[in-house]
Each structure stands twice: as structure tokens, then as C-alpha cells.
Structure 1
Amino acid sequence: MNTFTPTKIKGVFEIDFFNIRDDRGAFVKTFHAEKLKAQGLETDFKESFYSVNNKNVIRGMHFQTPPDDHAKIVYCTSGSLIDVVVDIRKNSTTYGQFITVELSGNNAKGVYLPTGTAHGFYVKEDNTCMVYLTSTVNSPTNDGGIRYDSFGFDWPTKNGIHSERDILFPTLTDFNTPF
């Protein structure tokens, strides 16, 4: 982790990971507790998982509610995607605003998300792998989301592939945020 660039949403950072590329391929360091700690960010991650995605998939917008809310670090190890983060903290000056970050297997970037943000992404190519580190374990009871099309982001496709669950989430306006 070389640099943490603050975004317009408080507590959300774009991360440029330490990486070396040569004729053999690439070496990328995606987690360094002391560097996160120096930024005042969560370092005690409890779970890691990944998803492999087809082109035109839209996942999101996901989060966990208290008491199982979590910070997360996300990054892409292969393929490419547009990562989207929405502030759902009712007292935040950037409530309802979003940021996007291009993540790919080639750019060695990630995003740090604090609690109170919703996360999703649009997949630009087949076999895109997204990795997640979370500061709490998955809690189906507190697993939530808002509709992907309810906060003003202009998704790159009108024919995205969605889960039924994601389509049934409430809009940002209809969601009673606990954050």
C-alpha cells in the first residue's frame, strides 16, 4: 500500500497498492496493517471472499447494518470493473453522493470503505474477480442494500445482469438508514 487518496466521501479512500511488474508477471501487496493504522483506518479484518463475474453484471448496492456493519477493502485481481460507493450516513455532508473508481487486474488499485457506505460495481469484461476484506463476518440478518439505480449514477449499460435480491432492494430515498 503506497498511497491512500481521500475521495469526496469522508472515510472512503482510493488505494494504490505496492506492486512490482516484470517479465515474470506481477507482485502486489494488498494489505498492510501498519499503513492502514497510520491512516486511522480499520485493520482488524475478519473475513475475506471473492466473486467471479461475467461482463455486464451489476452488483449492489450492498452493506451490513449495525451491529454487524463493517469497513471493507475491495480490489480486482483479474478483468476490470467500475467500483461504486454511495454515502448512506444520514448526518454526513456527502449523504447520497457517490464516487467511482476503475479497478482492474492491471492497475493495482483498491478502495477502502468505512461503515455507512453502500458498495457495488459494474463488470466490464468476463471472468472479472473482485476480492473483499471485511471487518465483520457476513450476517444474513443484517445484510442489506439499496437499489443500484436510485442515487444518480449513470450505469454504463441499461441491460445489466442483476440478482433478484438486488432488484428488490429499496431506493435510497425509501431506505431508513441506521447510519
Structure 2
Amino acid sequence: MQFIKTNIPDVVIIEPKIFGDDRGYFFESFNQKVFEEHIGQINFIQDNESKSSKGVLRGLHFQKPPYTQSKLLRCIEGEVLDVAVDLRQDSPTYKQYLSVVLSGENKKQVFVPKGFAHGFLVLSETATIAYKVDEYYAPDYDSGIAWNDKEIAIDWGMNEAAIQLSGKDKELKPLVEIENPF
């Protein structure tokens, strides 16, 4: 596995070594020892999976302390634009974002630490995302920021009319209008 630093040093892209031939392929998607050597000790406690249609945007979500989550995400099938926004007010990359295309073809993963809002936009007809988290879902601590926050100005690369949001995500406000717990 190759661990690639990004413009936001705590967000890491992971590229596996893929061994393939005419029968198919094999790759190691997670190895605790190697992960800890490059990122540190994270105790993942739950695996989640979601499937969405083209244009579905899920995010930008986070959980408030003490139930903050780190996530390790990959796209099993299809293609998504995955986005992490630094909400840590004392960080030199505060309000900056990282976007990376994750796909069933490229097998890349992204590690998003605590203190970030996270979301993804489905670029293919459908996409299946799998992710590990290090804290259980706590509905009373669930929060987020608007996907189209003008100050953060994420380039989602898709016409706004084609984007589909959940009712909950439509209600999310820009960062300047929420209490930032980080």
C-alpha cells in the first residue's frame, strides 16, 4: 500500500497494490499494522456500506464531541467525488477541503480524521461506498454544513440542478451559521 500525503496533511489517500491476471484481481484493503505505521493508532469499531444513484450528494456530515469520528472510505462499485473539509479552527488548513475521485476501478481509499466534515457525490449511474469508523453513530451529536457553503466553495464538478440531497442535508447551514465544535 502507498500512503499519499495531501494538501491537508492529516487527510491521507491510500493506494493499494493490485495483483491481477485474466482470472481477476486481489488486493489488501486494510492492514492494521501498516495503517498504524503511516497514520497512527485508530480503533475502527464499525464498518458501514451505502449505495446511491448518480447525482446523490451525501454530506457534508460530522459528529460533535465526544462522539467525533475518523473514517476510512473506499468505493467498491462506481465512482464518487469524495470531499473532506477541515473544521479544526486552530489548523493551518482550516476551511480548506480535499477532493479525490474514489472508484471501484482505482481502488483508492481516503482517511478522514476527526475534526472534518465529510461528504461524497456519486458520479456514475450508481456507487457503493464502504467505510470504517472509530465511533458509533450518535444521532443527538449528528451535524454538518451545507454542501454549497460559499466560503468553502467546493467544486463538485456537477450542475447544481442534477444534485440530489436528502431532506436532512437540504437543511444544513453554512459553517459561519453553525456552532463549530472543533
Does the alignment reach a TM-score above 0.5? yes
- Could you say which residue in structure 2 is the equivalent of 1:7? 6
- Count, aligned residues: 178
Q: Deviations over 1:50-73 (max 9, x none)?
A: 110101111100111111101110
Partner in structure 1 of residue 131 of structure 2: 132
Q: Show structure 2 runs of 5+ residues with no match.
A: none
Give the corresponding residue for 1:178.
181
Which position in structure 1 is the counterpart of 2:33?
Answer: 34
Are the aligned partners of 1:76 and 1:128 in contact in 2 as well (CA < 8 Å)? yes
- Tell me the equivalent position of 2:155: 154
Q: Is the 8 A contact 1:42 1:135 kept in 2?
A: no
Contact preservation (8 Å) 1:18, 1:30: no
1:47 and 2:46 equivalent? yes
Q: Aligned Cα RMSD in Å?
A: 1.2
**1:62 to 2:65 alignment:** no
Deviations, residues 17-75 of structure 1 (Å, cap 9, x unaligned)? 23222222222322111111112434310111111010111110011111110111000
CA distance in 1 between partners of 2:46 and 2:107 (Å): 21
Structure 2 vs 1, CA of residues 128 and 118 (structure 1 numbering), >3 Å: closer, same or farther? same
1:89–1:95 CA contact under 8 A, matched in 2: yes
Matches within 5 A, 1:83-162: 83-150=82-149, 151-155=152-156, 156-159=158-161, 160-162=163-165
Unaligned runs of 5+ in 1: none
Measure the CA separation in 2 of the matches of 1:17 and 1:142.
33
CA distance in 1, matches of 2:75, 2:143: 22
Q: Which residue identity is paired with 1:175?
A: I
Instruction: Give the percent of matched residue pairs that are identical in Structure 1 and Structure 2.
Output: 34
Query: In structure 2, do the counterparts of structure 1 residues 72 and 42 end up closer, same or farther at CA, with 3 Å as the change threshold?
Result: farther
* 2: CA distance, partners of 1:112 / 1:42: 13
